[in-house]
Amino acid sequence: MIRGAAKLTSTPCSEGRYSVMGGMLFRLFFPPSPDSAPIRYAFAAACCAVAFALRILFDPLLHEHALLLLFTLAVAASGIRGGFGPGLLATFFGAFGVVYFFPPKFTFFTIAPGYLPVVARELTAFIAVGVS
């Protein structure tokens, strides 16, 4: 360990104690040793499942707005935790899930002509962010 460097496994609280939740989150996203590939990809799938469940929960409030917002967070978490491959898998799951399950004013994979430019623009931006 470098002299003078702070230990990054836990965060100090205002009372001088260490935050258990901050340490748990840090270990969740930055494990001490790299996980195996199945665990990293399972984490990506779980992040997308949580994002999907939250999107269904918030659908009465959001309707057709911000379809990809929660899936963007799932892609970021998967990329941070697992690397490029799990992040790309989360990007695919998010894009597929939004096009298949959350179509505004259209049925599965049949997009109304008025929404086609909007859907294409949002999916292009989402995939570009997910790949980068």
Domain residue spans of the chain: 35-131
The model's pTM is: 0.68
Would the pLDDT of 16 be above 50? no
Q: For residue 61, with 0-12 CB atoms within 10 Å meaning exposed, 13-18 middle and 19 or more buried, which class applies?
A: exposed
Candidate from 44-48, 71-75, 125-129 with smallest mean pLDDT: 125-129
Q: What is the pLDDT of residue 102?
A: 67
DSSP letter, residue 67: T
pLDDT tens string 32-50? 767 788 999 999 999 999 9
Q: Indicate the helix (H) or strand (E) that contains 12.
A: strand 11-12
* Terminal alpha carbon distance of the chain: 32
